[in-house]
Amino acid sequence: MHGVAEILERKRKLLDRRQEAGPARFAAVERELQEIDAVLTRLESTAAEADRAVVSPWPESKTTH
């Protein structure tokens, strides 16, 4: 997940920069933060789908006792 760490680091830097940004730069920083959030949301969704797709290699027993 090296890519996720880089994305989170970029987000942290942008959040710091947003505090110091003037009006013109503020809008650009906000857009980039929204793009990062969208990427992180997609990654989280993909990971959740992968977790649900994990199938046991052993079929459930159909016998009754």
- Distance CA(49)–CA(29), nearest Å, equals 30
What is the tens place of the pLDDT at every residue in 19-62? 988 888 999 999 999 999 999 999 998 888 877 776 656 666 55
Residue 63 pLDDT > 70, yes or no? no
What is the tens place of the pLDDT at every residue in 5-28? 999 999 999 999 999 888 889 999
- Distance CA(6)–CA(1), nearest Å, equals 9
| Structure tokens belonging to residue 41 | 């949301």
In this prediction, residue 25 carries a pLDDT of 92
- Distance CA(29)–CA(45), nearest Å, equals 24
**Which residues, other chains included, contact 25 with Cβ-Cβ below 8 Å and sequence gap of 6+?**
17
- Distance CA(7)–CA(14), nearest Å, equals 11
In this prediction, residue 51 carries a pLDDT of 77
